[in-house]
Structure 1
Amino acid sequence: MIYKCTENQRGLILDFLAEDPITNLFVVADIEKYGFDSLDQDIWAYTNELEGIEGVLLRYKDIAIPVHGEEFSGFDTFLPLLQSLDEIKVISGGKIVVDQYIDYFPELEVTETVISVCRELLGQPQSMTLVEELEKADIPAYVIWQNQCFEEPSESEMVLSEMLASKDVIIKIIKNEHNQIISSGRVSAESSQAAMLTRIGTVKTEEGKGYATIITAYLTQHCLENDKKACLFYHNPTAGSIYHRLGYHDTTKNWSMLKAKKEETKKNIFQELIS
């Protein structure tokens, strides 16, 4: 049986997700932060004949995260529900879960990353003092930085301003002598047990100078000082080597995302620009 969850099911849902708090970090963090009454979020649970939870499906805005095992009796229930959610642009989750949905969403392509966790920071770069807080005045430059470093377009200045005001994220930056942002990273999801580092990068002209290491170390230290395991995703072996030197260890479970193919993404962005 599948049902939409309310606050009455909070304990049951979080107990189920606690079996893998790292892979389920985003779902746990969203439930702890936004609860069950937010218009941006819906949570469904699938139970077996004994009323034990076998699967959870979270919708946060245009992202869906299914959580269940490899042998999931509720798959034929979750699939049509996912297909009916017109607003969904991304399906993400543990690789063994997302793999089960790939063939049913041929318009989307899959990307896979390694999940790595740090419980103890190994050393601190001497240049940690270079790290600054992203201020509202820095937002236009930060948008430019993101567009230089990542394939996906940056959030708008308005969205970033709202994120900073609501403290939804922690964004740290490093500037050069010309006051330009050259490196940055953020903590974008925090549960009571762990926090996720994302959007770590450096502009190409400044790569190889250790800035990404400094940013990662700073954010990792922040997480650990708040008694939370620091987590991140990566697919680049060079980036992985940086994280490993700081004390990160890869888990045995990778993370996958189903999202629009790059050509379609570019087409949609162009359409937004001319509409």
Structure 2
Amino acid sequence: MIRKLNKRDDPACQRLLGEKPAENLFIIGDIENFGYEQDFQTLWGDFDQKDRLRAVLLKYHNNFIAYASKSFDAEGFAAIINRDHEFMQVSGLQSITDQILPYIEHSPKKKRALFYAKCESKEKLGLKLDTSQVKLASVKDVPEILNLHNQIVEFEQDDSRESSMIKGIEGKSTRIYYVKDDDQMVSSASTTAENSKSAMIVGVCTHPDFKRRGYASSCMKKLCEDLLDEGKMLCLFYDNPEAGSIYKRLGFEDIGIWTMNIFEPIEQPTS
């Protein structure tokens, strides 16, 4: 049985999502930040015959993310998505989205698949790196960080990046660690979507003129140490094998494939 979730369902929802806090980083964070009753956010639960929650579907603006601990009503979740005229994206672990997508009424215009990795133990941070030069950024450092990001060809240009960084730092959902060389910011690593259980690592980069000096690894190690000390599990996406090898040396383990399926907006019927 599928029904909308509300705040009375939160204990059961947190128990289910807490089984895999890295995999459920986005759902956990959105519930902590916005709850169950927002115009832009809705949650549904799929319950088994004993009324135990076994799967969750989150709608955040026009994006749907699902999680299930066992077999679930994938066709029922797809029916909810198909009825939503705002829907433009279905994201999540491939093992779950692959069960929903066959029931979506039209095909995505774009698909992207990334490796999804997590680090849950400080004991696995095996690299003996000097992190004494790694600093935690404040709002005043944002212009220099943006300048560094603008040197990274792999990073997409985004006019909202500055305001997102500032909002994230001020709201404590984002941290940015950096290293300078002769007063020039040369490497950084950031978190985003931090919640009480987990955090996503993004924006790991080094200026092209300062690569292969261990700067990014030092930023990553300091970031990981600080968050793991707070009891937060770390996760990240990657599609570059070279980057993946760096993350694995720091103790990250692949936990699956994260897929993003982008759809054309559904045309609403005209009256």
Normalising by structure 1, report the TM-score. Answer: 0.80
Count of aligned positions: 257
Q: Contact 1:118–1:220 (CA<8 Å) still a contact in 2?
A: no
Contact 2:176 2:191 in 1 (8 A): yes
1:43 maps to which residue? 43
* Aligned mate of 2:113, from 108, 111, 118: 111
Q: Describe the superposition over 1:144-190 as per-residue Cα deviations: whole angstroms up to 9, x where unpaired.
A: 433443443333322322222212211122233353x3322112133
Secondary structure at the aligned position of 1:109 is classed as: strand
CA distance in 2, matches of 1:244, 1:158: 32
**Structure 1 pair 23/243, CA: closer, same or farther in 2 (3 Å)?**
same
Contact 1:124 1:217 in 2 (8 A): no
CA contact (8 A) 1:40 1:60 kept: yes
Corresponding residue number in structure 1 for 2:189: 185
2:178 to 160, 165, 173: 173
Aligned-partner residue type, residue 193 of structure 1: K
What corresponds to 2:93 in structure 1? Answer: 94
* Deviation (angstroms), 1:125: 1.4
- The alignment partner of 1:129 has SS state of coil
Matched, 1:211 2:215: yes
Q: CA deviation at 1:213?
A: 0.3
Q: Greater helix percent: which structure?
A: 1
CA-based RMSD: 2.7
Residue by residue, what CA displacement relative to the aligned partner does 1:60-100 show, whole Å, maximum 9, x if unpaired? 3443211126743x222211322444545543211101223
- Residue aligned with 2:132, SS: helix
Deviation, structure 1 residue 101: 4.3
Q: Which residue of 2 aligns with 1:254?
A: 257
SS at match of 2:236: strand
Contact 1:143 1:157 in 2 (8 A): yes
Please give the per-residue CA displacement for 1:224-254, whole angstroms capped at 9, x wherever unaligned: 2112233323222211221222222333x33
| Structure 1 residues 84 and 170: CA distance shift in structure 2, 3 A | farther
* Runs of at least 5 residues in structure 1 that lack an aligned partner in the other structure: 262-275
Fraction of identical pairs, as percent = 27
Distance 2:217 2:93 in 1: 26
Q: Which 5+ residue runs of structure 2 have no aligned equivalent? A: 265-271
Q: CA shift at 1:140, angstroms?
A: 3.2
Report which stretch shifted further, 90-99 or 134-143.
134-143
